[in-house]
Structure 1
Amino acid sequence: MDMEPSTNCAAAGVASGGGNESSNYLNLPLLLQPSYARSKSSLSDELRSFRMSLKWCALDHSSGIGKFISYLMFVFLTVFVPIVTSISVQVPASVLSTDTTAYNLLVQFPESGLAFLGFFTLCCFFRRYGLRQLLFLDALQQDTTFVRRGYTRELDKAFRYLACILLPSFFVEVAHKIIYFSTVKISLPYVWSGFPLNSVMFVMVLGSWVYRTGVFLLVCVLFRLTCELQKLRFEGLHKMLEGCGCGCGGDTIFEEHLRIRKQVSVTSHRYRFFIISSLFVITVSQFAALFMVLASKSEKSFFNSGDLLVCSAVQLSGFFLCLLGATRITHRAQGMAAVATKWHMSMTCAEQQGKAIGDVSSCQSCKINNESDDSDSSDHIVIRVSEQHPSTFQMRQALVSYFQHNTKGITLFGYALDRGLLHTLFAFEFSLVMWILSKVVVLS
């Protein structure tokens, strides 16, 4: 699962001094300790929660046995269980709704489709990068203490977002499945009629739902975590521009922005297939559900359409999590031009103010010399201006031009994922809703 190159760099930003050095070292988070550059993880590793979660979700690809179990569980919970459930369920004639089976099939396809996208994405990531390289942990040695402390907090909060989406949906799903399997009848060939098929199928369906939902949301959480790291780096670059007296030159700021821009581009290339494919699956499933619900004349209840509610909530929550992380990075990248322009203006004004002070002092000195010489000629007045470096102004101007022409953050095949693209997506989705409503009105 991990291809972790060992490094010997010492973590920057660790404050040490006197007798408090050892105590400060023990109190620092792991990402801020010099011993962070290692090839193996310790028990206090912040990635331990990720690795444990991957093992419990049968997504451990660090060994051949782990890969075999992972693929086996994926086929069983994503393909086998939904197919068996759809075939074996029989809705009794006493139930008034006739759309229960159709709604159930409509839910199974997008859930399995998103799970396939998430599983395929994770497999590619673990095979090519590994978990540490996927989260850019090896590159943290070049970051400031502000970035590393912020990323440590984001690592701690990563699974809270997953739990905030998964747990409420799980409770609603459990309530729905209890009602569902207490009403329907499960029948399979070559199975004894007295066997508790409903109870077994209830457990299998819940396990399948947790697995499929968890795989999709896990990729969304990983993408958001990567976006938060880049956002912290943009904030650190912002602080570099604001701290004019910190000694950071334009070349240092340029190199830092190049490093951030490269990692943002890598993030865009890694996740663009997942984002676009998820958007397609979610759009098709949502509008198919909308068309089916509006066109059906049967009574809607929690029994027959509860799955649609849970499925839609999970899909939209996970996708909005991705969009929120991407747009925040893009807006930070687009705002750097304004910040750099302000920095350039402040530095130029400070230089001009220093130049004006130098002019006034020179004039006063010359005036005194003229009075002592009793001369009215202005040819003897010499104004000494403090030596300036035009190259510094030109470097800042070039840096501002660079920021103005490099404003893209997260991109999808060259299109920046910003407000403009979100407005376009909203207009497209709204047009589809209006088209579906028009078809439903015609059919009714």
Structure 2
Amino acid sequence: MPLLKLIDPISFNKLVQFPESGLAIIAFFTLARFFSRYGLQQLLFLEGLKDDSSYVQRGYTRVLDKAFRFLAFILLPSFFVEVAHKIVFFTTIKISLPYVSSGVALNAIVFVFVLASWVYRTGVFLLVCVLFRLTCELQILRFERLRKMLEGCDSDCSAIFKEHGRIREQLWLTSHRYRFFIIACMVTITVSQLGALLLALKSDSQKTFFNSGDLVVCSAIQLSGFLLCLFGAARITHRAQGIVSVATRWHMIVTCSSSGSPQRHTPEVDDTPVSTHDTDSESSDIFLTISPREPYLFQTRQALVTYLQHNHGGVTLYGFALDRGLLHTLFAFEFSLVLWILSKVIVLS
């Protein structure tokens, strides 16, 4: 008999445990490596927060509250659904262990252990996603401060260059630290979701809350946490790429303001007669006064804009910018796999 014919409600629920455990293992080793090497303060780049402006410090306080609200909005509804599903599950089945009398007490003990295991695995995975989102939000605040620096016509190019270099270094460190977690989660979630879709479509058992509740909760947790990471990375990459246009506009405004209102000077008139060949045009009597520092400042601004044009990357995965274009590519790839599975199910059924 084919494997898909042998799937009963209990074994269908067991299939959900593999991706949950896999994501928890990936997140656990990621956190263990983070805290053993960096610590929370260095991981979130908090050591340089005291040197930031009050705008960044106040914004980061709001970002912290927002990040934990995201965690609560994802975890609490899923927890209540999981509790309801486990109550239905353990009141329906009867657990038996060697040398242990089966009954309500044993079911209650196993229920508590299963629920605690789910909370731990889900919490570890979502915690890494929230830490990554926090890191991206802090860099977004620093890009906003850099943008405000570019809005001033008397901005210092060296200060802008120093601030952008610090943000770029922190983005490079963030990409290097989280790239394995993002790729491993993407592979695990893709395989688990497509495998669950195939099994759900081919299984002859009736789909109910009893045998499919775990699948719904697992899918919601996986997609919510992973999309939290992807959208955070896409936002910071979009801000990093958009700073080039802001700097170019700033360069044009400063250049036009410095040369758009020239001073007109007319040489002093004396009584000496002037020959006609010395006054061929009126422009000889009018000339522009340009500051001696203006060519130097123009070249400095032009060099800064050129630097930003060649260093505008955000979060990267082994050299590929995690921007909206990459998100569109991933969506097209996943959608193609879903259509391929649907075509196979229709052909085989």
Indicate whether the TM-score tops 0.5: yes
After TM superposition, the structure 1 = structure 2 runs for residues 239-250 of structure 1, keeping only pairs within 5 Å, are: 239-245=148-154, 248-250=155-157
Alpha-carbon displacement from aligned partner over 1:142-163 (angstroms, at most 9, x marks no partner) = 2111111111221233321111
State how far apart, in whole Å, the 2-side matches of 1:101 and 1:111 are: 16
> What TM-score do you get using the length of structure 2 for normalisation?
0.93
Query: Hey, what's the Cα distance between the residues in 2 that align with 1:258 and 1:147?
Result: 17
Structure 1 stretches of 4+ with a deviation exceeding 6 A read: none
Q: How does 1:1-400 map to 2 (within 5 A)?
A: 99-194=8-103, 196-245=105-154, 248-354=155-261, 357-358=262-263, 361-362=264-265, 365-366=266-267, 369-370=268-269, 375=274, 377-378=278-279, 381=285, 383=287, 385-389=289-293, 390-400=295-305
Question: Scaled by the length of structure 1, what TM-score is found?
Answer: 0.73
**2:310, 2:47 → 1: CA distance?**
29
Matches of 1:148 and 1:273, distance apart in 2: 30
In 2: Cα distance, 1:383 partner to 1:426 partner: 60
Deviation at 1:372, TM superposition (A): 6.3
Q: Which runs of 5+ in 1 are unaligned?
A: 1-96
Structure 1 stretch displaced more, 221-230 or 390-399: 390-399
In 2, Cα distance between the equivalents of 1:388 and 1:267?
43
Higher relative contact order (CA 8 A, sep 6+): 2
CA distance in 2, matches of 1:121, 1:386: 58
Partner of 2:345: 440
Deviations 1:3-29 (A, max 9, x none): xxxxxxxxxxxxxxxxxxxxxxxxxxx
CA distance in 2, matches of 1:107, 1:384: 76
Q: Distance in 1 between matches of 2:204 and 2:286?
A: 95
Q: What is the CA–CA distance in structure 2 between the aligned matches of 1:349 and 1:293, rounded to whole Å?
A: 64
Question: What CA distance in whole angstroms lies between the structure 1 residues aligned with 2:39 and 2:288?
Answer: 62
User: C-alpha displacement at 1:200, in angstroms?
Assistant: 1.0
CA contact under 8 A between 2:133 and 2:229: conserved in structure 1? yes
RMSD between aligned residues: 1.8
Q: SS of the counterpart of 2:48?
A: helix
Q: What's the secondary structure of 2:287's corresponding residue?
A: coil
Q: In the alignment, what sits opposite 1:84?
A: none
| Matched-pair contact (CA < 8 Å) for 1:295–1:443 | no
- Any stretches of 5+ residues in structure 2 without a counterpart? 1-5
Instruction: Name the residue aligned to 1:430.
Output: 335
Q: Residues 348 and 393 of structure 1 are in contact (CA less than 8 Å); yes or no, is this contact kept in structure 2?
A: yes
**1:424, CA displacement in angstroms?**
1.2
Q: Is the 8 A contact 1:176 1:303 kept in 2?
A: yes
Query: What's 1:47 paired with?
Result: none
Distance in 1 between residues matched to 2:26 and 2:12, nearest whole Å: 22
1:272-318 C-alpha deviation (Å, 9 max, x unpaired): 11111011110010001000001112211111001000000000000
**What does the per-residue CA deviation read over 1:339-358, in whole Å, with 9 as the maximum and x for residues that have no partner?**
0100010011111113xx31
Question: Cα offset for 1:374?
Answer: 6.2
Contact in 1 for aligned 2:94/2:103 (Cα 8 Å): no
Question: What is the deviation of 1:243?
Answer: 1.6
Whether contact under 8 Å (1:370, 1:381) holds in the other structure is no
